[in-house]
């Protein structure tokens, strides 16, 4: 595995299969590990957010969660081998967790969504052990109680879908206290697994126009999507200037 930098943010050049092997290694080490899933939006945000920048650069693993990152890496001649999205990593980890007996905890999304996602995952993998779930719309004052719940249930993997940036900061701040072997930021994955949001069909992903699909299906995200041209500017145009 090697690591490349996109606008100063480290991203691991890793395949999904290798990421799963890393996960298994982290679980045997027992000490807490943070897996981040940087996408262009996070990389752009990190330029003006030193805390996020440092968290991403110090994470134990950074999965390249964006096809534009793969395309840009190829143009810059430091090619990433494949895109590994948070949701693909979550689903593959859960399948393995069901086989290996690893316990998972789902933290994030609107009330009821993580439970519904957990139910769907159990339907898919009946032997899966769910340590617990909790929604992601809590006040900072409620964090100690949520941390106590997670600690009590002793999951092997904590998936946090609290929103890009926020989830990494929350996990980094509580990593040692939580003492969960592996914590992973997964954005809106629970919404998709619960069936509340649709992921772009495979052919749209293959055409590299998932951003267009999301712009049409979630037009309120248009402002967030300005991150994509900014990302291209920061990585490609700036390197040519």
What does the binding site for ligand UDP look like in residue numbers (CB under 6 A)?
Answer: 108-110, 136-137, 161-164, 187-188, 190-191
CB 128 within 8 A of CB 98: yes
Smallest distance, Å, CB 188 to ligand UDP? 3
User: Helices 67-75 and 40-47: crossing angle, nearest 10°?
Assistant: 70
C-alpha span between 173 and 235 (Å, rounded): 29
Sign of CA dihedral 91, 200, 60, 54: negative
- CB closer to ligand UDP out of 79 and 163: 163
C-alpha span between 157 and 30 (Å, rounded): 11
- CB closer to ligand UDP out of 27 and 147: 147
Tokens read off for 215: 């712009």
- CB closer to ligand UDP out of 12 and 191: 191
Chain residue at closest Cβ approach to ligand UDP = 136
Smallest distance, Å, CB 13 to ligand UDP? 22
Smallest distance, Å, CB 123 to ligand UDP? 20
Virtual CA dihedral for 166, 172, 176, 178, nearest 10 degrees? 20
- CB closer to ligand UDP out of 42 and 97: 42
- CB closer to ligand UDP out of 38 and 188: 188
Smallest distance, Å, CB 113 to ligand UDP? 7
C-alpha span between 85 and 2 (Å, rounded): 18
C-alpha span between 146 and 119 (Å, rounded): 20
Smallest distance, Å, CB 110 to ligand UDP? 5
- CB closer to ligand UDP out of 32 and 108: 108
Q: What is the DSSP letter of 198?
A: P
Smallest distance, Å, CB 114 to ligand UDP? 9
């Amino acid at each position: 595995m090697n690591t490349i930098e996109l606008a100063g943010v480290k991203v691991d050049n890793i395949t999904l299969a290798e990421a799963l092997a890393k996960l298994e290694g982290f679980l045997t080490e027992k000490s807490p590990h943070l897996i981040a899933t940087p996408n262009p939006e996070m990389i752009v945000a990190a330029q003006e957010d030193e805390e996020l920048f440092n968290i991403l650069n110090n994470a134990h693993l950074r999965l390249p969660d964006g096809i534009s990152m793969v395309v840009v890496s190829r143009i810059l001649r430091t090619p990433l081998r494949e895109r590994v999205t948070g949701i693909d990593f979550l689903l593959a980890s859960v399948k393995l967790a069901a086989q290996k007996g690893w316990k998972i905890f789902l933290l994030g999304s609107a009330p009821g969504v993580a439970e519904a996602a957990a139910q769907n995952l159990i339907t898919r993998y009946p032997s899966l052990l769910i340590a617990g779930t909790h929604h992601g719309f809590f006040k900072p004052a409620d964090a100690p109680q949520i941390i106590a719940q997670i600690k009590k249930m002793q999951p092997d993997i904590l998936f946090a879908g609290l929103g890009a940036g926020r989830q990494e900061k929350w996990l980094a701040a509580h990593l040692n206290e939580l003492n969960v072997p592996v914590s992973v930021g997964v954005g809106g994955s629970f919404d998709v697994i619960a069936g509340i949001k649709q992921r772009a069909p495979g052919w749209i992903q293959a055409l590299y126009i998932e951003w267009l699909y999301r712009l049409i299906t979630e037009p309120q995200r248009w402002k967030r999507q300005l991150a994509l041209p900014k990302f291209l500017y920061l990585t490609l145009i700036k390197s040519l200037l």
